[in-house]
Amino acid sequence: ALVGAAPPRRVQADLADNAFCRDLLEGLSQSPRKIAPKYFYDAQGSALFDRICELPEYYPTRTERRILERHGREIAHVMGPQADIIEFGAGSLEKIRIVLRSFEASALPRRYFPIDISGSHLEEAARRLHDECPWLQVRPVAADYMDEAQLSGLDASTGRRVGFFPGSTIGNFDAHEALAFLRLAARVLEGGGLLVGVDLVKDPQTLHRAYNDAQGVTAAFNLNLLRRANVELSADFDLREFAHYAFYEPRKQRIEMHLVSQCAQTVRVAGQNFRFEEGESLHTENSHKFTIEGFRKLAVAAGFRPGPVWTDEARLFSVHWLES
Using CB under 6 A as the criterion, which residues of the chain lie in contact with ligand AVJ when the complex forms?
A: 52, 60, 167-169, 171-172, 211, 218, 285, 287
CB of 60 or CB of 193, closer to ligand AVJ: 60
Name the CA dihedral angle for 301, 306, 312, 316, rounded to a multiple of 10 degrees: 0
Sequence-distant (≥ 6) Cβ neighbours of residue 61 within 8 angstroms: 52, 53, 54, 167
**Residue 219, CA distances (Å) to 74, 118, 223, 257 in order:** 38, 21, 6, 9
Q: How far is the CB of 234 from ligand AVJ (least distance, A)?
A: 26
Q: How far is the CB of 253 from ligand AVJ (least distance, A)?
A: 13
Q: How far is the CB of 279 from ligand AVJ (least distance, A)?
A: 22
CB of 110 or CB of 209, closer to ligand AVJ: 209
Q: How far is the CB of 60 from ligand AVJ (least distance, A)?
A: 6
Q: How far is the CB of 287 from ligand AVJ (least distance, A)?
A: 3
CB of 157 or CB of 169, closer to ligand AVJ: 169
> In the complex, which residue's CB is closest to ligand AVJ?
287
CB of 103 or CB of 211, closer to ligand AVJ: 211
Burial level of 203, CB count in 10 A (0-12/13-18/19+)? exposed
The radius of gyration of the chain from alpha carbons, rounded to an integer in Å, stands at 21
Q: How far is the CB of 14 from ligand AVJ (least distance, A)?
A: 30
CB of 25 or CB of 257, closer to ligand AVJ: 257
How far, in Å, CA of 260 to CA of 278, rounded?
8
Cβ atoms of 57 and 209 closer than 8 Å: yes
CB of 15 or CB of 68, closer to ligand AVJ: 68
Residue 9 burial (CB count, 10 A):
7
Cβ atoms of 193 and 321 closer than 8 Å: yes
